[in-house]
A and B are shown apart, each in its own frame.
Chain A
Amino acid sequence: MDTMAAIKQTFFQECEEQLAELEDGLLTIEREEGDLETINAVFRAVHSIKGGAGAFGLDDLVRFAHTFETTLDGMRSGKIEISPQIVRLMLRSADILADLVRVSRDGGSVDEVRVAQMTDELNKACGISAGPAEPVSAEPAPAPAAGDPDEFGFVVTPVSFDFADETPAEPQTDEFGFAPVAIDFDAILAEDAERIEGFEIRFRPKPELYAKANDALRLLRELGRMGEMSVTCDHSDLPLIDAIDPEGAYFSWTIQIRTECPEAEIREIFEFVELDCDLEIRPMLAGLITAADDADQVVQEVLAQVEAAVDPVAEAPVQPVPDLAPAPVSLTRAQPAEEVPAAAPVMQAPTNAPAAASTPAPSATIRVDLDRVDRLIDLVGELVINQSMLAQRVMEAGIARLSDVAVGLDDLEHLTREIQDSVMAIRAQPVRPIFQRMSRVVREVADMTGKSVRLITEGENCEVDKTVIERLADPLTHMIRNAIDHGIEKPEERLAKGKPEQGVVRMVAAHRSGRVVIEVSDDGSGINRARVREIAVRKNIIAEDAQLTDAEIDDLIFAPGFSTASTVSDVSGRGVGMDVVRRSIQALGGRITISSRPGQGTTFTLSLPLTLAVLDGMVVTVADQTLVVPLSTIVETLQPKESDVHSLGEKSRVIAIRGSFTPLIDVGAVLGYRETEADPMQSVAVMVETENQSQCALMVDGIIGQQQVVIKSLETNYGHVFGVAAATILGDGRVAVILDVDSIVAGSRTETARIDTNRKRSAA
């Protein structure tokens, strides 16, 4: 049971990859950069999902994937013309497929109406553009008009054949003196209905077939249920025991099966292994042993009849080289004779041949359980700590800086850093999947709002820690929704403003000084500041007479409980505002800023740490405790001057910095390290920027230095502690807590009188 669950999990992991590939391919096609291989890749992705889903009995998924696949196959074979509409339909189908996969994995339900609707649309796409149904039966197609190359590219020369029993009329010679020869195919091919008596199947599994837990014997056994079967095993490739790859695939089989089942049923047995084996299915004719023989035999019989017919013709008045007579006949007929039985396999070949030809090379990646990576990261964290402890001990022991020990220790330090970086890189993943997910959001929201929007992404290869990526999805989704719903104008409005009809949402990721920066921008109308202000006043977020700069007004949209849409729209009004976005970004150790230009659009900039495992911090002391302040929050540090510090009420103090007042918070008091307030003159003020982008000065006793620390979660190991984000172990082996700056600032406010500056809003 466990194995089954594990296999299923692998299947879903693969599904994720296939879905990403699917979307990637479709987007490439949408940009008109795709070629046949892109369509093949897209087809393969859907096909693999279908295959796996079938194995797990996920019927809904299989059904939809099948319809989807059929349409893709139509695109691939050129039966369905690739138009922007079709590609959009495919993209939407891919979304549904993703939903179905998700539901199969996590439970829940899908919007069945939507699935049904999409299935209809897909069927319609197949039906309408597919043209007249192709003759799939193996019956000889009626002879095409003279000179028209048929689908196999053969130009058929009309030769009169007599398929019926009627006796040919008196042989007439034509102007070249050729007399039509009547050939009775009925005698050769027997009755149509009985003609195909079974199939000859050549089946050569590839190692992948076995690796995917399929067994060739099971397939053979299933085949055996369809009729009387004779199996020949070719094991000539089998090496000796010392050279064998026990999990290799050396057997191949030729199976002759007598059955009345149609070929499709035979193919169905191999459906899920199609890509992992070489498969050839040829109908066998009645009374003939192998398909290879029957073509010859048919030709032989035709020739025999022709020769018999030629004799009387030889006496005809005009006799230009009677030997020639059989030649054109046997030639033209011999081809169809061979083609006819092969017709059915050829029809279906596209599912097989191109895919098999382009099977991707085995990728040089392995799948590793995330827990293992995390454990490794933990261990490396320990190593880093241990190494710095060792370095400290060596220093304390008074060993000379240039001694062998110290030099060796330096090398060790380099190595540890390198190991740490490499291990972090294992967790790092490109932001591509998340960007791809956003393209779906753009499509859906654009559809819902009736706007035309294009998503441009850049820097998808930018790598960030997996955890960071996972937790980016919601904030990004929300930002994109907002950008389209509130930012980008309706098409008519855009045209009236002289903008292109189609709006653009741009997502750019880039590495900047050890952090990753993601920008989400739109070319919409920008923030309507008058309106934002009005709403903020109405909702008591700011005082009516507050003097705010443009940037501060823009920043209001991050205020809790702020929403500009006058009606709660289906799109962005889902109960979360930009305040939630800001909070989740901050929870990641990141920050979000906004800049907007009226009429030209809005840009959100996210700056995120590359990893959640280490942190650059400033090590400070407060009441003999060592604390770490995350460097990303620190704006500056300064030594307070007596003249700058002002008391405000009984307990609170502010510090004047460059003309504005900033609350001065005694960290030691807030955390309960000491009863009495510290003397600001003996302290250092660390200016930090908080959640609301307001600044505060944290008062600490002293600064030890700047250091990269390994984050040890308190929540997982102990529990949440007020004012503390996490802990770390310093070089001297001491535990230090990492400050949660926001909660300290917020905590100080509960007891501190509100600061009456123009930053009043931030205290809300």
Chain B
Amino acid sequence: MGNATECVTLPTELDIKAASPLANQLLALRGRDVLLNASQIERVGAQCLQVLLSAASTWRTDGSSLAISEPSPAFTDAIEIAGLELSNFTSRNH
């Protein structure tokens, strides 16, 4: 590890159609430290949350770090409504 942190801006629409591309995108970044910029998100569905959450636990297992920056109101709202917290989506580098 220890590579430079990879910054990714999440798209505006994270609906069901976005789930597969998102998963592939994240999978490709596995092993690196990642910072996901969530400022652009306007809509997010449960399945993308699943993918993001799965990524966080994957990163945790791998010991890499993953964090979400500048969460948009839409994103925070979705997390809250789903009964989750931003910390669920974060993996700290050990």
Contact = CB atoms under 8 A, between A and B. Distances in A.
Contacts of A211: 16
Most buried by B among A211, A216, A232, A244: A244
Main secondary structure of the interface of B (DSSP, over half): helix
Contacts of A255: 83
B81 A242 contact: no
A217 B78 contact: yes
Interface string B5-49: 000000000011001101100110010000000000000111101
Contacts of B82: 216-217, 220, 231, 233, 251, 253
Nearest to B52: A241
Interface in A254-285: 255
Contacts of A224: 81
Interface string A211-246: 101011100110010000011110100111110101
A250 B50 contact: yes
A251 B49 contact: yes
Contacts of B45: 210, 215-217
A240 B58 contact: yes
A325 B50 CA distance: 54
Given A220-B82, A231-B81, A244 B16 contact: no
A217 B81 contact: yes
Given A213-B16, A246-B47, A233 B58 contact: no
A231 B20 CA distance: 26
A233 B78 CA distance: 12
Nearest to A238: B54
A458 to B, nearest CB: 45
Contacts of A51: none
B54 A241 contact: yes
A253 B83 contact: yes
A210 B46 contact: yes
Contact of A221 (B30, B53, B58, B81): B81
Given A216-B46, A220-B81, A224-B81, A244 B57 contact: no
Nearest to B78: A217
B61 interface: yes
Most buried by A among B20, B30, B45, B46: B46
A247 interface: yes
A244 B24 CA distance: 10
A205 interface: yes
B86 interface: no
A642 B54 CA distance: 91
B48 to A, nearest CB: 8
Interface string B53-84: 11101100100000000000000001001111
Given A217-B78, A253-B83, A241 B26 contact: yes
Interface of A: 205, 210-211, 213, 215-217, 220-221, 224, 230-233, 235, 238-242, 244, 246-251, 253, 255
